[in-house]
Every structure is written in structure tokens, then in C-alpha cells.
Amino acid sequence: MARPTSEEKRKAILDAAERLVAETGTGVSTAKIARAAGVAEGTVFVYFETKSMLMNALLGTLEAELAAAFSVGSRPGDGGRGDIRHVWDRLIAWGSAHPAKWRALKRLKVSEYITEASRREMDALFGELIAMLAETIRRHAGDAIAPDYAGVVLNALAEVTFERIAAEPDRSRHYTDLGFNFFWNGITAGKSG
């Protein structure tokens, strides 16, 4: 007979995994995750058959949360600076409000526990956003900058911006504006836009 499951326990396990992955990486043991969640180690496997399944579920939860942050409000639809600024502001707001989630997300994305199927699923969450960014970059930078490279630069600038905001929260708007201007000026430097 299968044991009954509880959404509260599942959430506690995911929350503990998120916190510990953010602190120490995906090498954290399921025993440590179970202790932090206040459950027996075997309980982790009632909800997630393997550690890989737990890590993939955590990635899915975090990516869905981040994707939802981008859907707040509507983009200006200008195909340029306004659309990119909209994305940037939402990324910075989410990452600044949830630094542990951001760190866990970064660590999960490079983890050997994440399956290719999960990676494709997560990419699909951002399909429209990635297409808009690629088209905007193509329109404003031409062939000078590959969209995937621009995405890496955007994430790196976001990371620096999160760190500055954490160090100086009263200057949040300043660092948000500064980071965006670095990005926009960088992609439009070779071509007017």
C-alpha cells in the first residue's frame, strides 16, 4: 500500500533543497536535505524517487517562478530598448528579492543531475522571451553579437547588479539603471539603434 503524500512535506523538502543547494551546491546529501526539511531521509524518496528527480523538480519550480516574474505587466512591444528594459527590470526585481533562489538556480543549471529533458522543458518556459531578445539584439546589433552571447552577458550583469544592490540596498534604482545601460550600450555600440 502506497504511503499518503502531503503537499506540505513536498514543499518542505523543496524549500530545504533550495536553501542548501544555494549554500553548498547540488552535492548536498539527501540526508542533509531531509534533516533541514524536518523529515526522515526515506521520506525524500517518497516524493522524489531519486536525487536527480528532486534536483529536476527544484529547477522546474524555480524556473517557473522566474518565468512568472517576466509575465507581470506587459512589455512595451517596441522591439527595442523598452522591451529589453522591461525584461531587465523584472529579472533584477526577482533576483534581488530572492538571492538564494538565484544562487540555487545558477548551481542547478550546471549540475550533472539535470536531465536534457528538463533543460528543454525549462527552455520552453522562456521560448517567447528568448525569441524577443534574439530579435531585438539582431535588430540593434546586427550580426556583431550572437544572441546567446548577449544572454550570457545579460545574466553576468544581472549577477553584479544583485551583488551591488545587496551591498547598498538604498541605491537599488541606481544599480538597476547602471546595469541596464551597460547592457544596452554594449549591444548597440556597433550599430545605431
Q: If we measure between CA atoms, which residue out of 35, 2, 41, 1 comes closest to residue 16? A: 35
- Residue environment code for 132-155, b if the CB has 16+ CB neighbours within 10 A, otherwise e: bbeebbeebbeeebebeebeeebe
Contact of 14 with 6, CB cutoff 8 Å: no
Cα–Cα dist 91/168, whole Å: 18
pLDDT in tens, 34-64: 999 999 999 999 999 999 999 999 999 999 9
Specify whether the backbone of 146 is left (phi greater than 0), alpha (psi in -120 to 50) or beta: beta
The cell for 36 is 533541514
Locate the domains of the chain by residue range.
7-188
The fold of 7-188 is: Tetracycline Repressor; domain 2 (1.10.357)
pLDDT in tens, 120-159: 999 899 888 888 888 988 888 888 888 889 989 999 999 9
- Using CA atoms, how far residue 163 sits from 25, 38, 69, 104, in Å, is 19, 31, 20, 15
Q: What is the average per-residue pLDDT within 6-21?
A: 96
